[in-house]
Structure 1
Amino acid sequence: MTAGMIACGTYKNHPNVIWTNEEKLMLSDVFGDPATIDELHTWWAKYG
């Protein structure tokens, strides 16, 4: 079962990860300064 969706990219030259949790009706967005997209994805995998 899919809990939500995730998208990774950049916004204003900062790495960005945005995801949803359908069960909790939640949309979350986090950006790095200066974290890399890989570091943000690792953080998301652990805490998101």
Structure 2
Amino acid sequence: MIIHLTASYERKHKKLIKKNFKLRDNIKQKLQVFQKIKNTHRYDYIN
């Protein structure tokens, strides 16, 4: 019974982890885009 519970918990946990990874990837992409924008603006100021 305990084994079954842990297995189902792990399955749920994996789904949550996948969701979190998707969110984290989204945030990373947004940050990267933001960095690119900042960098291009910085170059504009230099030129």
Question: Which interval holds the TM-score relative to the shorter structure?
Answer: under 0.3
Greater helix percent: which structure?
A: 2
Return the TM-score normalized by structure 2: 0.26
Greater relative contact order (CA < 8 Å, ≥ 6 in sequence): 1
Greater strand percent: which structure?
A: 1
